Structure 1
Amino acid sequence: MSGSSSRMLALLSLLQTPRDWPGHVLAERLEVSPRTVRRDVDRLRELGYRIGAIKGPDGGYRLAAGSELPPLLFDDDQAVAIAVALQSVASSGIDIEEAASRALATVRQVMPSRLRHRVDGIRFSGTESTTRVDPAVLEAVSAAVREKRMLRFDYGSSADRPARRTEPHAVVAREGRWYLIAWDLEVDDWRTFRLDRMQPRIPTGPTFTPRELPAKDAATYLAARSKGSVSEDRWPCVGEVIIRMPAREVAPFIGDGTLEELDEESCRITVGSWSWVGVVASVARFDAPFEVVGPEELREATGVLAGRFAAAVDDSSSS
């Protein structure tokens, strides 16, 4: 919080006391000039807080009746961020929708009316995550990561398996799922574990010295593993083709690939996959003629897939 924001929050806290506050007394308590107090009061009024002025030799201020709840100091962007974040909980995968709804209602009550109207105007629906993570699991795993303590947990549905013993490194959220990246002491290697399949055992184990992750950060490591790599967020097979289809119709479906418009009816795309045949398959789904630019492995895979398609057609004809 900036010095100005911190000071105004302190000012609001003082005004919360049921009494009149002379300007010079507020200035002494906040260790600023009376002029600064006047500026801060004017800014709070602009934010929607009802602060009355007291006439007289000393002058002063009081918080208007009906403002007995401790006010929160948010600007417009922060109010929007809070509304969006709390309403997006369902898509996060953490099982705390009810708590988030209550939190939004509580925060709304202590906002100025102008910001309440902005928050009330933000309403949207999202896709609920298909996996649900117990907030207690997230808390326990996060604590083990923070404290650098060995973590034991049951994993999956099999109850007869021994508990996994790990050195937890980081918790990463990706596409509605939550993962623990950890050094697995049983296999002496890095592994990723889904939090919705974990049941931590308490208490945690001794502290450990963190190992160096084979990637620049945890998010990169998880993205790399999802693409068959270890250290870099890239596909092992990346090919380039020219497809006879307008760029606007291709763009929504190439994922993390790249696109270059050549003319109104064709474009050049670069896409990746686990295998070269997978690259060809991702291009063939556009149902349009295409030309392989390279590399040579992609040309060979195109021939392989063409042979499979031809064989499938021959088999169905003969039957």
Structure 2
Amino acid sequence: MTTDLPARMLRLLSLLQTRREWSGTELAERLEVTTRTIRRDIDRLRDLGYPVDGTPGHTGGYRLASGTAMPPLILDDDEATATAVALRTAAGNLTGMEETALRALAKLEQVLPGRLRAQVAALQQATATIGWDQRGPRIDPALLTALATACRDHETVTFDYTTRGGPQASRRVDPHHLVASGGLWYLLALDVDKDDWRIYRLDRIAGLVSTRRRFTPRPVPGDDPAAHVADKIATAPARYRAIATVQTPADTARRRTRALAARMRPIDQNTCTVDCSGDYLPGIVQALAALDADYTLSADPEVLDHLRTTAHRTLRATT
């Protein structure tokens, strides 16, 4: 039983921060106290400025609401370590987040216990981030946060979406998962009007609005959101077509270019086709080079021209 009042209050606050809503009975069982004690502790949190909403009745509960200022967070050791590392590495493709992330990191590191500060320092010293030239679109963190919240709370949203070559159109979806891949963010959602799964690039979403309508989540196709998105990306239409017939077994090509696994088709034991089509010409060149085998290529003129330019540049550099 948690008899120490400060410790119990911190534990209660930590629980409220981990889930959207708790019933009084659930909190009482977790803290091994009575529901009456829980009600008194909730009142104490409110007196301290924490905006705790309560719903009366047998099916009621408590939730930590948004207020005029964010209250202190309670993090366990693993959460604090993960947050500190993530702040250094995860803001690379979010518009205007670099300075904000560093300010938050400074605040967090200032209050970390010595043992955790040493762990974070060791992780940062032992890891590095490759700073590729970011040609991809940068995402508004407010959009990312709003969609993540809608996924967590199972709330239907509407937005305007611009397809690759089509006009902007309104969408009404049940958001399920956010997936990051290749410098881009994708939303896996159920299109309410079409009653079918769809994938949306976040950089093409505008005018996001929450309907405040809750939905019951459905199982994701294949039970793996990332795999489903990766498969759809691999088979989606691309700006530049490039299909290679490669003189190597499909299994060998798959090991060399795992990102294109869904685009490989065996012809016989020693030959396969690999669809290297994409929106970025240098990326197609990199995919072809990774095959490390002889191949013939059926491709758009833009691809062939870019390959010739790259080959001539390489020859000049080696002579």
| Alignment TM-score, normalising by the size of structure 2 | 0.48
| Higher-Rg member (1/2) | 1
| Alignment TM-score, normalising by the size of structure 1 | 0.48
